[in-house]
Structure 1
Amino acid sequence: MVRLCILFLLLFSSPALAGPRFDDNDPVVFNAPAPHQFPIHGIDAARFQDSINWRKAHKAGVSFAFVKATEGGDLLDPMFASHWRGARRANVPVGAYHFYYFCTPARVQARWFIKNVPKSKGALPPVLDMEWNPFSPSCKLRPPAGQVRRNMSIFMAMLEKHYGQRPIIYTTPVFFKENDLGRLKGEEFWLRSTAKTPAEVYARQDWHFWQYTSTGVIDGIDGAVDINLFNGSRKDWQNWLKSRAR
Protein backbone atom coordinates (compact mmCIF):
# COMPACT_ATOMS: atom_id res chain seq x y z
CA MET A 1 0.00 0.00 0.00
CA VAL A 2 1.35 3.41 -0.96
CA ARG A 3 1.80 5.58 2.15
CA LEU A 4 0.73 9.20 2.26
CA CYS A 5 4.19 10.21 3.29
CA ILE A 6 6.15 8.89 0.32
CA LEU A 7 7.78 12.28 -0.22
CA PHE A 8 9.10 12.26 3.33
CA LEU A 9 10.54 8.79 2.82
CA LEU A 10 12.22 9.75 -0.42
CA LEU A 11 13.82 12.79 1.14
CA PHE A 12 15.25 10.84 4.07
CA SER A 13 16.40 7.87 2.01
CA SER A 14 18.78 9.93 -0.11
CA PRO A 15 22.17 8.15 -0.17
CA ALA A 16 23.94 11.51 -0.32
CA LEU A 17 22.39 12.58 2.95
CA ALA A 18 22.78 9.19 4.66
CA GLY A 19 20.12 10.49 7.01
CA PRO A 20 17.56 8.76 9.21
CA ARG A 21 14.96 6.38 7.82
CA PHE A 22 11.81 7.97 9.23
CA ASP A 23 8.20 8.20 8.12
CA ASP A 24 5.40 10.63 8.99
CA ASN A 25 1.63 10.22 9.28
CA ASP A 26 1.06 13.86 8.38
CA PRO A 27 4.05 15.15 6.38
CA VAL A 28 4.66 18.83 5.73
CA VAL A 29 6.64 20.33 2.86
CA PHE A 30 8.85 22.95 4.51
CA ASN A 31 10.64 25.84 2.91
CA ALA A 32 14.42 25.66 2.93
CA PRO A 33 16.23 24.75 5.01
CA ALA A 34 13.86 21.81 5.42
CA PRO A 35 14.33 19.03 7.99
CA HIS A 36 15.81 16.59 5.50
CA GLN A 37 18.71 19.00 4.95
CA PHE A 38 19.95 18.42 8.51
CA PRO A 39 21.82 15.16 9.26
CA ILE A 40 21.19 14.75 13.00
CA HIS A 41 17.70 13.81 14.16
CA GLY A 42 16.25 12.51 17.41
CA ILE A 43 13.08 12.11 19.43
CA ASP A 44 11.42 13.19 22.63
CA ALA A 45 9.36 10.65 24.53
CA ALA A 46 7.10 10.38 27.55
CA ARG A 47 4.46 8.01 28.93
CA PHE A 48 2.64 8.08 25.59
CA GLN A 49 5.50 6.07 24.08
CA ASP A 50 5.06 3.01 26.26
CA SER A 51 7.04 0.68 24.02
CA ILE A 52 10.37 1.67 22.47
CA ASN A 53 12.94 -0.72 21.10
CA TRP A 54 15.83 1.69 21.46
CA ARG A 55 18.30 -0.39 19.45
CA LYS A 56 15.94 -0.49 16.47
CA ALA A 57 15.22 3.22 16.80
CA HIS A 58 18.92 4.00 16.98
CA LYS A 59 19.58 1.89 13.89
CA ALA A 60 16.78 3.74 12.08
CA GLY A 61 18.54 7.05 12.70
CA VAL A 62 17.64 8.29 16.19
CA SER A 63 20.81 10.12 17.22
CA PHE A 64 19.54 11.59 20.50
CA ALA A 65 16.54 11.61 22.81
CA PHE A 66 15.00 13.85 25.43
CA VAL A 67 12.65 11.98 27.76
CA LYS A 68 10.11 13.44 30.15
CA ALA A 69 11.09 13.09 33.78
CA THR A 70 8.97 15.40 35.89
CA GLU A 71 6.10 17.86 35.92
CA GLY A 72 5.39 20.44 38.59
CA GLY A 73 6.51 19.52 42.08
CA ASP A 74 5.11 16.03 42.50
CA LEU A 75 4.64 14.23 39.17
CA LEU A 76 7.14 11.69 37.86
CA ASP A 77 6.54 10.35 34.36
CA PRO A 78 5.89 6.61 34.73
CA MET A 79 8.04 5.79 31.69
CA PHE A 80 11.02 7.93 32.65
CA ALA A 81 13.18 5.22 34.20
CA SER A 82 12.49 2.79 31.35
CA HIS A 83 13.20 5.34 28.62
CA TRP A 84 16.32 6.62 30.40
CA ARG A 85 17.82 3.14 30.85
CA GLY A 86 16.78 1.96 27.40
CA ALA A 87 18.34 4.88 25.57
CA ARG A 88 21.59 4.64 27.49
CA ARG A 89 21.88 0.89 26.93
CA ALA A 90 21.41 1.48 23.19
CA ASN A 91 24.10 4.21 23.20
CA VAL A 92 21.58 6.91 22.31
CA PRO A 93 22.63 10.21 23.95
CA VAL A 94 19.76 11.09 26.27
CA GLY A 95 18.65 13.97 28.46
CA ALA A 96 15.65 14.57 30.71
CA TYR A 97 13.05 17.32 30.56
CA HIS A 98 10.76 18.99 33.07
CA PHE A 99 7.28 20.28 32.21
CA TYR A 100 6.80 23.55 34.11
CA TYR A 101 3.68 24.05 36.25
CA PHE A 102 2.70 27.64 36.96
CA CYS A 103 1.04 27.01 40.32
CA THR A 104 4.15 25.58 42.04
CA PRO A 105 7.23 27.64 43.03
CA ALA A 106 10.23 27.28 40.72
CA ARG A 107 12.50 26.13 43.56
CA VAL A 108 10.11 23.33 44.50
CA GLN A 109 10.01 22.14 40.89
CA ALA A 110 13.79 22.26 40.55
CA ARG A 111 14.23 20.20 43.73
CA TRP A 112 11.72 17.64 42.42
CA PHE A 113 13.61 17.28 39.14
CA ILE A 114 16.94 16.94 40.94
CA LYS A 115 15.48 14.29 43.24
CA ASN A 116 14.36 12.14 40.32
CA VAL A 117 16.94 12.62 37.55
CA PRO A 118 20.37 11.08 38.15
CA LYS A 119 23.69 12.78 37.46
CA SER A 120 24.83 10.34 34.80
CA LYS A 121 28.08 10.54 32.88
CA GLY A 122 27.48 11.48 29.26
CA ALA A 123 23.91 12.69 29.79
CA LEU A 124 22.63 15.54 27.65
CA PRO A 125 21.76 18.82 29.37
CA PRO A 126 18.43 18.94 31.22
CA VAL A 127 15.56 20.69 29.47
CA LEU A 128 13.00 23.15 30.83
CA ASP A 129 9.74 22.75 28.91
CA MET A 130 7.91 26.11 28.92
CA GLU A 131 4.48 26.23 27.34
CA TRP A 132 0.95 27.17 28.36
CA ASN A 133 -1.18 24.23 29.37
CA PRO A 134 -4.84 25.20 28.79
CA PHE A 135 -5.98 21.65 29.57
CA SER A 136 -4.74 21.56 33.15
CA PRO A 137 -7.69 20.78 35.46
CA SER A 138 -6.04 22.42 38.46
CA CYS A 139 -3.94 25.37 37.29
CA LYS A 140 -5.11 28.11 34.92
CA LEU A 141 -2.55 30.66 36.11
CA ARG A 142 -0.64 32.63 33.47
CA PRO A 143 1.87 34.88 35.25
CA PRO A 144 3.12 38.10 33.60
CA ALA A 145 6.09 37.72 31.25
CA GLY A 146 8.63 39.22 33.62
CA GLN A 147 7.69 36.80 36.37
CA VAL A 148 7.81 33.87 33.95
CA ARG A 149 11.36 34.74 32.94
CA ARG A 150 12.45 35.22 36.57
CA ASN A 151 11.04 31.83 37.54
CA MET A 152 12.79 30.23 34.59
CA SER A 153 16.09 31.74 35.72
CA ILE A 154 15.60 30.40 39.25
CA PHE A 155 14.85 26.89 38.00
CA MET A 156 17.70 26.85 35.51
CA ALA A 157 20.25 28.19 37.97
CA MET A 158 19.44 25.42 40.45
CA LEU A 159 19.78 22.72 37.81
CA GLU A 160 22.98 24.21 36.42
CA LYS A 161 24.53 24.22 39.89
CA HIS A 162 23.57 20.59 40.49
CA TYR A 163 24.30 19.03 37.09
CA GLY A 164 27.07 21.32 35.88
CA GLN A 165 25.11 21.95 32.68
CA ARG A 166 22.99 24.92 31.72
CA PRO A 167 19.50 23.67 30.82
CA ILE A 168 18.08 23.97 27.33
CA ILE A 169 14.78 25.85 26.95
CA TYR A 170 11.99 24.14 24.99
CA THR A 171 9.09 26.34 23.97
CA THR A 172 6.27 26.97 21.50
CA PRO A 173 5.57 29.94 19.21
CA VAL A 174 2.78 31.43 21.35
CA PHE A 175 4.64 31.05 24.63
CA PHE A 176 7.85 32.46 23.16
CA LYS A 177 6.06 35.55 21.87
CA GLU A 178 3.82 36.22 24.86
CA ASN A 179 6.71 35.96 27.33
CA ASP A 180 9.31 37.71 25.19
CA LEU A 181 11.77 34.85 25.57
CA GLY A 182 14.01 36.43 22.96
CA ARG A 183 15.24 38.64 25.82
CA LEU A 184 16.97 35.59 27.35
CA LYS A 185 20.34 36.07 25.71
CA GLY A 186 22.96 33.34 25.63
CA GLU A 187 20.51 30.49 26.27
CA GLU A 188 20.14 27.39 24.12
CA PHE A 189 16.68 26.95 22.64
CA TRP A 190 14.74 23.93 21.41
CA LEU A 191 11.89 25.33 19.33
CA ARG A 192 8.64 23.73 18.24
CA SER A 193 7.42 24.55 14.74
CA THR A 194 5.50 21.92 12.82
CA ALA A 195 4.27 23.92 9.83
CA LYS A 196 7.05 26.42 9.11
CA THR A 197 10.79 26.68 9.66
CA PRO A 198 12.06 28.31 12.89
CA ALA A 199 13.28 31.29 10.86
CA GLU A 200 9.73 31.94 9.72
CA VAL A 201 8.20 31.60 13.20
CA TYR A 202 10.92 32.82 15.57
CA ALA A 203 12.45 35.73 13.68
CA ARG A 204 16.18 36.17 14.28
CA GLN A 205 16.19 33.72 17.21
CA ASP A 206 19.17 31.37 17.51
CA TRP A 207 18.33 27.73 18.19
CA HIS A 208 20.00 24.37 18.66
CA PHE A 209 17.06 21.96 18.31
CA TRP A 210 13.90 22.04 16.20
CA GLN A 211 10.82 19.89 16.89
CA TYR A 212 9.33 19.66 13.42
CA THR A 213 6.68 16.95 13.71
CA SER A 214 4.56 15.22 16.33
CA THR A 215 3.33 12.53 13.93
CA GLY A 216 6.59 10.76 13.17
CA VAL A 217 6.86 7.04 12.53
CA ILE A 218 10.10 5.29 13.45
CA ASP A 219 11.04 1.62 13.45
CA GLY A 220 11.09 0.35 17.02
CA ILE A 221 8.54 2.85 18.33
CA ASP A 222 4.85 2.00 18.60
CA GLY A 223 2.60 4.84 17.51
CA ALA A 224 3.40 8.44 16.58
CA VAL A 225 6.37 10.22 18.10
CA ASP A 226 7.82 13.74 18.12
CA ILE A 227 10.88 14.11 15.90
CA ASN A 228 13.52 16.77 16.36
CA LEU A 229 16.74 17.79 14.70
CA PHE A 230 20.02 19.41 15.67
CA ASN A 231 20.99 22.66 13.98
CA GLY A 232 24.35 21.76 12.48
CA SER A 233 26.52 19.26 10.66
CA ARG A 234 27.68 15.91 11.97
CA LYS A 235 30.94 17.54 13.03
CA ASP A 236 29.00 20.32 14.78
CA TRP A 237 27.04 17.64 16.61
CA GLN A 238 30.15 15.88 17.82
CA ASN A 239 31.64 19.15 18.99
CA TRP A 240 28.38 20.05 20.77
CA LEU A 241 28.36 16.67 22.52
CA LYS A 242 31.92 17.16 23.70
CA SER A 243 31.08 20.53 25.20
CA ARG A 244 27.57 19.85 26.53
CA ALA A 245 27.26 16.15 27.40
CA ARG A 246 28.83 15.61 30.81
Structure 2
Amino acid sequence: MAYGMLKAVGAMVVAGAIGIGGWSYATAWHPKTSQYPLQGIDLDERPGPIEWGTVRARGADFAYLVATSGADRRDPGFEANWAALPDAGLRRGAIHLYSLCQPAKDQANAVNAFVPRTTDALPMAVDVSFRGDCTARPDRDALIADLKTFIHMVETHTAKPVMLRVSKPVESTYQLTAAIERPIWAMRTFFAPTYPARPWQMWRASDVRRIDGIEGPVNWDVVAP
Protein backbone atom coordinates (compact mmCIF):
# COMPACT_ATOMS: atom_id res chain seq x y z
CA MET A 1 0.00 0.00 0.00
CA ALA A 2 2.72 2.48 1.02
CA TYR A 3 4.74 1.68 -2.09
CA GLY A 4 1.68 2.18 -4.31
CA MET A 5 0.95 5.56 -2.75
CA LEU A 6 4.56 6.67 -3.19
CA LYS A 7 4.48 5.58 -6.81
CA ALA A 8 1.27 7.55 -7.44
CA VAL A 9 2.68 10.65 -5.77
CA GLY A 10 5.86 10.30 -7.83
CA ALA A 11 3.84 10.11 -11.03
CA MET A 12 1.93 13.25 -10.06
CA VAL A 13 5.17 15.11 -9.38
CA VAL A 14 6.59 14.08 -12.77
CA ALA A 15 3.38 15.09 -14.55
CA GLY A 16 3.41 18.43 -12.76
CA ALA A 17 7.03 19.05 -13.71
CA ILE A 18 6.26 18.27 -17.35
CA GLY A 19 3.28 20.63 -17.24
CA ILE A 20 5.32 23.42 -15.70
CA GLY A 21 8.11 22.87 -18.19
CA GLY A 22 5.68 22.91 -21.10
CA TRP A 23 4.05 26.13 -19.93
CA SER A 24 7.44 27.73 -19.40
CA TYR A 25 8.39 26.84 -22.97
CA ALA A 26 5.07 28.16 -24.31
CA THR A 27 5.40 31.53 -22.59
CA ALA A 28 8.96 31.97 -23.91
CA TRP A 29 8.28 30.74 -27.45
CA HIS A 30 8.27 32.91 -30.56
CA PRO A 31 8.86 32.12 -34.25
CA LYS A 32 12.51 31.99 -35.23
CA THR A 33 14.00 35.33 -36.19
CA SER A 34 15.94 33.57 -38.94
CA GLN A 35 12.59 32.93 -40.63
CA TYR A 36 10.78 36.07 -39.48
CA PRO A 37 13.33 38.86 -38.94
CA LEU A 38 10.74 41.52 -38.03
CA GLN A 39 8.88 40.77 -34.81
CA GLY A 40 6.93 42.86 -32.35
CA ILE A 41 3.91 43.16 -30.08
CA ASP A 42 0.36 44.36 -30.10
CA LEU A 43 -1.37 45.50 -26.94
CA ASP A 44 -4.94 45.02 -25.81
CA GLU A 45 -7.00 47.89 -24.40
CA ARG A 46 -5.76 49.44 -21.14
CA PRO A 47 -2.46 47.52 -21.03
CA GLY A 48 -1.02 49.16 -17.92
CA PRO A 49 2.53 50.48 -17.48
CA ILE A 50 5.08 49.47 -20.14
CA GLU A 51 8.87 49.73 -19.98
CA TRP A 52 9.40 50.33 -23.67
CA GLY A 53 13.19 50.29 -23.58
CA THR A 54 13.10 46.84 -22.01
CA VAL A 55 10.57 45.62 -24.57
CA ARG A 56 12.88 46.79 -27.33
CA ALA A 57 15.83 45.04 -25.69
CA ARG A 58 13.83 41.79 -25.60
CA GLY A 59 13.55 41.71 -29.38
CA ALA A 60 10.51 43.77 -30.33
CA ASP A 61 10.97 45.87 -33.46
CA PHE A 62 7.50 47.45 -33.41
CA ALA A 63 4.40 47.87 -31.29
CA TYR A 64 0.75 48.20 -32.27
CA LEU A 65 -1.51 49.98 -29.78
CA VAL A 66 -5.30 50.01 -29.52
CA ALA A 67 -6.33 53.62 -30.07
CA THR A 68 -10.09 53.49 -30.54
CA SER A 69 -12.97 51.07 -30.21
CA GLY A 70 -16.25 51.62 -31.99
CA ALA A 71 -17.34 55.23 -32.31
CA ASP A 72 -17.00 56.29 -28.70
CA ARG A 73 -14.08 54.64 -26.88
CA ARG A 74 -10.54 55.99 -26.78
CA ASP A 75 -7.81 54.10 -24.97
CA PRO A 76 -6.58 56.35 -22.15
CA GLY A 77 -2.98 55.15 -22.41
CA PHE A 78 -2.64 55.46 -26.16
CA GLU A 79 -1.25 58.99 -26.42
CA ALA A 80 1.50 58.49 -23.83
CA ASN A 81 2.57 55.14 -25.26
CA TRP A 82 2.42 56.47 -28.82
CA ALA A 83 4.74 59.31 -27.89
CA ALA A 84 7.16 57.02 -26.02
CA LEU A 85 7.73 54.45 -28.78
CA PRO A 86 10.11 56.38 -31.08
CA ASP A 87 12.45 57.25 -28.20
CA ALA A 88 12.64 53.55 -27.35
CA GLY A 89 13.57 52.67 -30.93
CA LEU A 90 10.28 50.98 -31.78
CA ARG A 91 8.12 51.47 -34.88
CA ARG A 92 4.52 52.31 -33.97
CA GLY A 93 1.11 51.47 -35.33
CA ALA A 94 -2.46 52.10 -34.20
CA ILE A 95 -5.37 49.65 -34.00
CA HIS A 96 -9.09 50.35 -34.26
CA LEU A 97 -11.48 47.76 -32.83
CA TYR A 98 -14.34 47.80 -35.32
CA SER A 99 -17.86 47.53 -33.93
CA LEU A 100 -20.58 45.70 -35.82
CA CYS A 101 -23.11 47.78 -33.83
CA GLN A 102 -22.07 51.31 -34.76
CA PRO A 103 -22.04 53.27 -38.04
CA ALA A 104 -18.85 53.00 -40.07
CA LYS A 105 -18.68 56.76 -40.69
CA ASP A 106 -18.88 57.55 -36.97
CA GLN A 107 -16.11 55.06 -36.26
CA ALA A 108 -13.88 56.50 -38.98
CA ASN A 109 -14.45 60.02 -37.66
CA ALA A 110 -13.47 58.85 -34.18
CA VAL A 111 -10.22 57.36 -35.53
CA ASN A 112 -9.35 60.39 -37.62
CA ALA A 113 -9.95 62.77 -34.73
CA PHE A 114 -7.78 60.81 -32.28
CA VAL A 115 -4.96 59.05 -34.12
CA PRO A 116 -2.21 61.42 -35.31
CA ARG A 117 -1.17 61.42 -38.93
CA THR A 118 2.59 60.87 -38.74
CA THR A 119 4.97 59.88 -41.50
CA ASP A 120 6.71 57.26 -39.35
CA ALA A 121 3.52 55.38 -38.43
CA LEU A 122 2.91 51.83 -39.58
CA PRO A 123 -0.35 51.18 -41.45
CA MET A 124 -3.44 51.53 -39.30
CA ALA A 125 -4.94 48.15 -38.38
CA VAL A 126 -8.68 47.60 -38.21
CA ASP A 127 -9.62 44.59 -36.09
CA VAL A 128 -12.88 42.84 -36.97
CA SER A 129 -13.85 40.32 -34.33
CA PHE A 130 -17.02 39.22 -32.57
CA ARG A 131 -17.14 40.99 -29.20
CA GLY A 132 -19.23 40.48 -26.11
CA ASP A 133 -20.58 44.04 -26.12
CA CYS A 134 -22.16 43.70 -29.59
CA THR A 135 -24.50 40.96 -30.75
CA ALA A 136 -25.27 42.44 -34.19
CA ARG A 137 -24.55 40.25 -37.20
CA PRO A 138 -25.12 42.33 -40.34
CA ASP A 139 -25.52 40.85 -43.80
CA ARG A 140 -22.24 40.18 -45.56
CA ASP A 141 -22.82 42.71 -48.33
CA ALA A 142 -23.76 45.39 -45.80
CA LEU A 143 -20.70 44.73 -43.66
CA ILE A 144 -18.36 44.78 -46.64
CA ALA A 145 -19.84 48.06 -47.84
CA ASP A 146 -19.53 49.60 -44.37
CA LEU A 147 -15.94 48.45 -43.98
CA LYS A 148 -15.04 49.90 -47.36
CA THR A 149 -16.53 53.22 -46.27
CA PHE A 150 -14.54 53.11 -43.05
CA ILE A 151 -11.34 52.16 -44.87
CA HIS A 152 -11.71 54.93 -47.46
CA MET A 153 -12.20 57.58 -44.77
CA VAL A 154 -9.29 56.40 -42.63
CA GLU A 155 -6.92 55.98 -45.57
CA THR A 156 -7.73 59.52 -46.68
CA HIS A 157 -6.58 60.68 -43.24
CA THR A 158 -3.50 58.46 -42.85
CA ALA A 159 -2.47 58.43 -46.53
CA LYS A 160 -1.60 54.74 -46.16
CA PRO A 161 -3.49 51.48 -46.84
CA VAL A 162 -4.98 49.98 -43.70
CA MET A 163 -4.22 46.47 -42.52
CA LEU A 164 -7.20 44.16 -42.00
CA ARG A 165 -7.04 42.01 -38.85
CA VAL A 166 -9.85 39.48 -39.03
CA SER A 167 -10.51 36.78 -36.45
CA LYS A 168 -11.13 33.24 -37.65
CA PRO A 169 -14.81 33.19 -36.52
CA VAL A 170 -15.52 36.41 -38.42
CA GLU A 171 -13.69 35.16 -41.51
CA SER A 172 -15.65 31.89 -41.39
CA THR A 173 -18.90 33.85 -41.32
CA TYR A 174 -18.15 36.69 -43.75
CA GLN A 175 -15.10 35.76 -45.89
CA LEU A 176 -13.85 39.34 -45.61
CA THR A 177 -10.29 38.66 -46.76
CA ALA A 178 -11.58 37.57 -50.16
CA ALA A 179 -13.76 40.66 -50.55
CA ILE A 180 -11.46 43.44 -49.32
CA GLU A 181 -8.03 43.66 -50.89
CA ARG A 182 -5.89 44.97 -48.10
CA PRO A 183 -2.89 43.49 -46.23
CA ILE A 184 -4.05 40.78 -43.84
CA TRP A 185 -3.13 40.32 -40.21
CA ALA A 186 -4.13 36.82 -39.09
CA MET A 187 -4.15 35.25 -35.63
CA ARG A 188 -3.33 31.76 -34.40
CA THR A 189 -1.20 30.84 -31.41
CA PHE A 190 1.86 28.65 -32.16
CA PHE A 191 0.78 27.56 -35.65
CA ALA A 192 0.80 29.68 -38.80
CA PRO A 193 -2.80 30.58 -39.74
CA THR A 194 -4.33 29.27 -42.93
CA TYR A 195 -7.88 30.64 -42.71
CA PRO A 196 -7.50 33.88 -44.76
CA ALA A 197 -8.33 33.72 -48.46
CA ARG A 198 -5.03 35.41 -49.33
CA PRO A 199 -1.53 35.21 -47.82
CA TRP A 200 -1.18 37.15 -44.59
CA GLN A 201 1.32 39.96 -44.10
CA MET A 202 1.38 39.75 -40.32
CA TRP A 203 0.71 36.91 -37.91
CA ARG A 204 -0.11 37.11 -34.22
CA ALA A 205 1.85 34.02 -33.29
CA SER A 206 1.27 33.98 -29.53
CA ASP A 207 -1.04 35.56 -26.99
CA VAL A 208 0.67 33.95 -23.99
CA ARG A 209 4.28 35.10 -24.36
CA ARG A 210 5.87 36.82 -21.39
CA ILE A 211 8.72 39.30 -21.66
CA ASP A 212 10.39 41.75 -19.32
CA GLY A 213 8.92 45.22 -19.39
CA ILE A 214 5.26 44.13 -19.53
CA GLU A 215 3.24 42.62 -16.71
CA GLY A 216 1.24 39.60 -17.82
CA PRO A 217 1.06 37.83 -21.19
CA VAL A 218 1.70 39.77 -24.38
CA ASN A 219 0.52 39.37 -27.96
CA TRP A 220 3.59 38.57 -30.10
CA ASP A 221 3.53 39.18 -33.84
CA VAL A 222 5.74 38.55 -36.85
CA VAL A 223 5.86 40.08 -40.31
CA ALA A 224 5.88 37.84 -43.36
CA PRO A 225 9.40 37.71 -44.85
Q: What is the aligned counterpart of 1:140 among 109, 131, 135?
A: 135
Structure 2: which 5+ residue stretches go unaligned? 1-16
| Bigger CA radius of gyration | 2
**Alignment-mate amino acid for residue 174 of structure 2:** N
Give CA deviations for 1:17-57 in whole Å, capped at 9, x if unaligned.
xxxxxx44xx6xxxxxx822322211111344201111110
Equivalent residue number for residue 95 of structure 2: 97
Equivalent residue number for residue 169 of structure 1: 164
Q: What is the aligned counterpart of 1:77 among 69, 75, 78?
A: 75
Distance 1:72 1:185, change over 3 A: closer
Q: Is the 8 Å Cα contact of residues 100 and 138 (structure 2) preserved in structure 1?
A: yes
Q: Is the 8 Å Cα contact of residues 144 and 180 (structure 2) preserved in structure 1?
A: no
Q: Is the 8 Å Cα contact of residues 160 and 167 (structure 1) preserved in structure 2?
A: yes
Indicate yes or no: 2:28 matched with 1:35: no
**Greater per-residue helix proportion:** 2
Q: TM-score, normalised by structure 1?
A: 0.77
**Alignment-mate amino acid for residue 156 of structure 2:** K
**TM-fit CA distance, 1:209:** 0.4
Equivalent residue number for residue 212 of structure 1: 205
Over the matched positions of the two proteins, sequence identity in percent amounts to: 26
Q: What is the aligned counterpart of 1:224 among 188, 202, 217?
A: 217
Q: Is the 8 Å Cα contact of residues 46 and 77 (structure 1) preserved in structure 2?
A: no
**TM-fit CA distance, 1:195:** 5.0
Q: 2: CA distance between counterparts of 1:185 and 1:77?
A: 27
Alignment RMSD (CA, Å): 2.0
Q: 1: CA distance between counterparts of 2:135 and 2:23?
A: 38
Indicate yes or no: 2:179 matched with 1:179: no
Q: What is the aligned counterpart of 2:184 among 186, 189, 203?
A: 189
Q: Which runs of 4+ in 1 moved over 6 A?
A: none
Give 3-state SS (helix, strand or coil) of 2:203's partner. strand
Q: 1: CA distance between counterparts of 2:107 and 2:135?
A: 17
Q: 2: CA distance between counterparts of 1:195 and 1:140?
A: 29
Equivalent residue number for residue 3 of structure 2: none
Give 3-state SS (helix, strand or coil) of 2:53's partner. helix
**TM-fit CA distance, 1:78:** 1.3
Equivalent residue number for residue 126 of structure 2: 128
**TM-fit CA distance, 1:192:** 0.8
Q: 2: CA distance between counterparts of 1:101 and 1:193?
A: 21
Q: TM-score, normalised by structure 2?
A: 0.84
The count of aligned residue pairs is: 205
**Alignment-mate amino acid for residue 106 of structure 1:** A
Equivalent residue number for residue 11 of structure 2: none
Give CA deviations for 1:148-194 in whole Å, capped at 9, x if unaligned.
11111111100111110011001111111211113235310000112
Q: 2: CA distance between counterparts of 1:70 and 1:89?
A: 23
